[in-house]
Amino acid sequence: MKLPKIDLKGFTGTLKEAVVAGWAEHGSKIMLVGGIIGTGVALCMTADATLKAHDILEKEKKAQGVDNLPVKETFKKAAPCYIPAAVLWGVSALGIAGGYKAEANNAVATMAAYKLAESSLQEYKNATKEVVGDKKEQKIRQKVTENHMNTYSISDTQVYRAYGRGDSLFFDVYSGRYFRSDVDTIKKAVNDLNEELFNNGMVTLNEFYNALGLPETKLGDDYVFDAQKGTIKVDYMYSNAEDDSPCAEIEFESEPMFHRNCGYSY
């Protein structure tokens, strides 16, 4: 009986993509945990190697009828016992160092995001020097929105489809993402989140994205809306994206703030 030919090319490609994606998300933690476990195992192996080396040296001293062996010969006899533990020590150290470096890079990225509010405030101050007139505040906000949309080029990024049947274009400065939805859908999401805020006291930015039907971000769990600062209120500043598409930037009356206790989102 002739067995059907199985094409593993697609399967191996999918498996490879899954492994790469998993490593990108959890690689730093795997390296750290693996390094710590490896260090513990290496410690046990070192203790075991010491016992083996002691037995080997004692047998060799008896065979030669001496109380002590020359240093060179002692090293030659005992060293092979320690090689596996030494190799594991080295690999574990590299894992810990690599994991720590990756975690440190994530911390740097988080702290950079933490500076977003300060950066926006600085943009606000700089824009005031360029604007005059009775509607100063409105013009200032307009200038900041234009700067955001020029910085995040719509032609170089994915435009997401959020919940809702509307096709209006929106921009979220916290994630630098454009998405299509409608005002009523966003309003409903905000109302639902305010109920959650009332019950739990805090709501994360990722919960806001979930309510809109947008993918979560790595920093979305580190920014929270706090009930003590009031309910979530959304406003819009209208401008044009780089390709001249009419676009509304989402603004919050009380901005979500960095909350260190939420930890990092990987």
Q: How do residues 3-60 score in pLDDT, each as one tens digit?
A: 555 555 554 555 555 555 555 555 555 665 665 676 666 566 766 667 777 778 788 7
**Positions in the chain short of pLDDT 50:** 11, 110, 113, 117-118, 132, 261-266
- pLDDT value, residue 68: 77
- pLDDT value, residue 262: 44
- pLDDT value, residue 264: 40
- pLDDT value, residue 242: 85
3-state secondary structure of 57: helix
- pLDDT value, residue 145: 82
Which residue from 192, 211, 209 is spatially nearest to 200, judged by alpha carbons? 192
- pLDDT value, residue 1: 52
- pLDDT value, residue 211: 96
Q: Which string of DSSP letters, residue by residue, matches 213-239?
A: TPPP-TTTTTEEEEGGG----EEEEEE
**In 10 A of CB 114, how many CB atoms?**
17
Q: Which string of DSSP letters, residue by residue, matches 78-99?
A: HHHHHHHHHHHHHHHHHHHHHH
- pLDDT value, residue 266: 36
- pLDDT value, residue 205: 93
- Is residue 259 within 8 Å of residue 222, measured between CB atoms? yes
Distance from the first to the final alpha carbon of the chain:
49
Residue whose structure tokens are 């390094």: 35
- Give the tens place of pLDDT for each residue, 129-138: 555 455 666 7
